[in-house]
């Protein structure tokens, strides 16, 4: 049985630069740095972001940008604070997609290696309610 997400790995061209961005934007806590040792495919750093294990692994960046993304939940009250943090790191913010009322707001931005992140104020339960979906599962 699947118990949850174990970790997320992103391949980045510059470990130090990407680590600094994760720490500043997401308040990520570095818990491991392989340094010159290589236990996996390349040098890597492990972080915790609100209990989520995120790995940065050194390598070739993504060749193109897509809408595939990782979304983190933020509060509405912190929305502008996060937008400011992102702009301070010269990260490209993508225009938000069209939304219906009650769906929450999002900040989309690309990191230095074409990964798309979203900071979203809504929840799954709120979105399903807005879309008129009735569910018997706890969301």
Contacting residues for 82 by C-beta, under 8 A, at least 6 apart:
25, 74, 107, 119
Exactly one of 30, 37, 44, 118 is catalytic; name it. 44
126 is catalytic: no
CA distance linking residue 108 with residue 88, whole number of Å: 15
Handedness of CA 71, 61, 41, 43 (dihedral sign): negative
CA distance linking residue 128 with residue 92, whole number of Å: 30
Residues marked as catalytic = 44
């Amino acid at each position: 049985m699947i118990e949850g997400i174990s970790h997320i790995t992103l391949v980045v061209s510059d470990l130090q630069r990407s680590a600094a961005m994760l720490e500043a934007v997401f308040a990520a806590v570095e818990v491991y740095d392989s340094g010159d040792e290589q236990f996996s495919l390349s040098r890597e750093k492990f972080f915790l972001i609100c209990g989520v294990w995120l790995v940065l692994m050194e390598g070739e960046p993504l060749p193109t940008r897509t809408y595939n993304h990782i979304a983190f939940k933020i509060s509405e009250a912190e929305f502008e604070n996060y937008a400011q943090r992102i702009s301070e790191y010269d990260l490209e913010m993508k225009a938000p997609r069209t939304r219906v009322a009650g769906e929450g707001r999002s900040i989309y931005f690309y990191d230095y290696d074409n990964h798309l992140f979203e900071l979203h104020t809504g929840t799954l339960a709120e979105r399903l309610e807005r879309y008129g979906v009735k569910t018997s599962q706890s969301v």
